[in-house]
Structure 1
């Protein structure tokens, strides 16, 4: 299988039990994860050789992060040790009509304090894809510049760049995100971005026709950033915090859409988008047809919603079996 490098921050997630608020919780469920690390774990489950680059403190929390990555089959040789702390966030788990709520406590983390490239060019040696996200660009202006440097390094070594816009309103404004994306997207080959990203971050005029509107947005993004070879995102119809309908979309010289999965009940939504991104990258790396790719990626995302924790716990064979058996409620 292929070598992939992912780079991004890993944090400690402290979640309330269902029905509990942060203000009244007596205990929290703990998980470790981050968007790029979740993609790494999924791709390792799918059989790829995956290196995750990050930085963690020299304490028990940092050691636990490294141990978890290794248990998931991820190469930790590019994990740097140092700095003051591991970033944390609190998740108030939603239920019914009450949505989940996130509170970040990540300022000054070991990863966020990186201001220049601390990895050698060997990080990307023989890698086919480097996967990054907008969450990292949101941390500091220095990180945005560093991502551009890493993207350029990747292309110099013949490595493709995958980028998930992954906009988080709690981290930066739409204006700041849009400015950063004008620097980043010219260096991207595969991009996870949807309708709202196109309108609010990339300055694309809203589509006047509801039919085939995603085709319009994908084509507009491609015209604005011609280096992008493939675009993908999910359409999510939310009935309640624990009941969604999920459809995957992919554009590569044509528009492709997956079957729709009814996710009810959702065990843990965190990391569902990362499992989807990993499924897309797996399809690209293994030469799947666009339709096969989007069906696999959406099935992987649907399965992630059925387990606790931030990352996918299913192999490519399990995802394929789930897809072929049409397990769960699927509408076409």
Structure 2
């Protein structure tokens, strides 16, 4: 099995029941999750040897993280123990026309205090095929910007394919702060998950002409990004049409060698849980690239994986690659006998 490494913060998620405000809730559903951890869980279910790098507290919640990851086949040897708390976030579940709302409680978490000196990147990247990171990690502290940069540099030294999801969160930092950090990271990235808004507000690309279609605009932005960062070989994102919190249309895109490949549209209604849908899509793209599928097959697989994730609760996608291919081939709503 190919070795995959992901690095990031895993948090405790506490969610309301649908139709309930956080301020009125008297019980919450509990899950563990985080962007890079979610990608790692998906890739583990796809059959890869996944290692998650992070820092967690030495308390029952830290133990819960280990058990969560191990239950999905993710290796925890590279987890550093220390600090006093696990980052937490509260999800007020959306329904109908009311959007979901996230409230973070992650300051001073164990992961935010992770130091480069605590990680042996030569051991971590030994024999690895892929390293995945997201923009959430450098958003959390200046020291984590250093960790992210050195991790990408070390991965490239070891000949590891690198993946970066911009994953901008306005509640964590400004456009300017993110743009400055990304400029230092992107020269070491092979695969970049970014969309139109990332191109305009984080990477400084001028807006595409309004006369272009949605697909043509994305090609415009991706070609401009490729001019600035010729090292980026693949760019990917999704088109999401939001009809309500419970009903979305989803399409995936993958830009390779100057061409944009677009998946079929998935009409997802009702949505059980949208959180982690983007991570499931990213894992699907990474699977396609690791398995050298055609670009069209890769983006179709990724969109199908993301659509399936929307049907289960929690942050993580637990479908195998066989189940994703079966869903993509058979379509939705059919009984599998």
Q: Which TM bucket (shorter chain)?
A: over 0.9
1:160 shift after superposition: 1.2
1:186 aligns with: 187
Q: What is the alpha-carbon distance in structure 1 between the residues aligned to residue 66 and residue 318 of structure 2?
A: 17
Report the 3-state secondary structure (helix = DSSP H, G, I; strand = E; otherwise coil) of the residue aligned with 2:103: strand
- Distance, in Å, in 1 between the alignment partners of 2:84 and 2:143 is 18
Greater mean deviation of Cα atoms: 74-83 or 58-67: 74-83
Counterpart-to-counterpart distance in 1, 2:265 and 2:71: 32
User: What is the aligned partner in structure 1 of residue 148 from structure 2?
Assistant: 147
- Please list every run of at least 4 consecutive aligned residues from structure 1 whose deviation after the TM superposition is greater than 4 angstroms: none
- Deviation per CA, 1:45-68, whole angstroms, max 9, x where unpaired? 000110001111000000010001
Where does 1:16-35 land on structure 2 (aligned, <5 Å)? 16-35=16-35
Matched, 1:54 2:54: yes
Pairwise CA distance, 1:272: 0.3
**2:164 alignment partner in structure 1:** 163
- Contact 1:192 1:277 (8 Å CA) reproduced: yes
Q: Does 1:223 align with 2:227?
A: yes
Give the CA deviation at 1:326. Answer: 1.5
Number of aligned pairs? 329
**Counterpart among 208, 227, 246 of residue 242 in structure 1:** 246
Q: Choose from 317, 320, 335 the match for 1:315.
A: 320
Match of 2:126 in 1: 125
Shift of 1:38: 0.2
1:2 has 2:6 as partner: no
* Residues 328 and 201 of structure 1, relative CA distance in 2, 3 Å threshold: farther
Matched, 1:267 2:272: yes
What's the secondary structure of 2:263's corresponding residue? strand
Shift of 1:116: 2.5
TM-score (ref. length: structure 1): 0.98
Q: Tell me how large the CA RMSD over aligned residues is.
A: 1.0
Q: Report how far residue 328 of structure 1 moved.
A: 4.4
3-state SS, counterpart of residue 23 of structure 1: helix
Match in the other structure for 2:205 = 204
Of residues 276, 284, 302, the one that matches 1:297 is 302
Distance 2:326 2:161 in 1: 29
Task: Look up the SS of the partner of 1:267 in the other structure.
Answer: coil
Pair 1:252 & 2:256 matched: yes
The Cα offsets for residues 99-118 of structure 1, whole Å up to 9 and x where unpaired, read as 11111000000000113341
Change (3 A) 1:104 1:328: same
CA contact (8 A) 2:113 2:143 kept: no
Q: Which runs of 5+ in 1 are unaligned?
A: none
Determine if contact 1:117/1:146 at 8 Å carries over to the other structure.
no
Q: Supply the distance in 1 between the matched residues of 2:333 and 2:287 (Cα, whole angstroms).
A: 23
Matched with 1:175 is 176
In 1, the alpha carbon distance for the partners of 2:294 and 2:206 equals 31
Partners of 1:125 and 1:199 lie apart in 2 by 36
Secondary structure, aligned partner of 1:68: helix
DSSP-derived class of the 1:311 partner? coil
Match of 1:138 in 2: 139
Partner of 1:276: 281
**Alpha-carbon distance, 1:30 to partner:** 0.5
Per the alignment, in what secondary structure is the counterpart of residue 176 of structure 2? helix
Give, in whole Å, the separation in 2 of the partners of 1:236 and 1:306.
16
Match of 1:325 in 2: 330
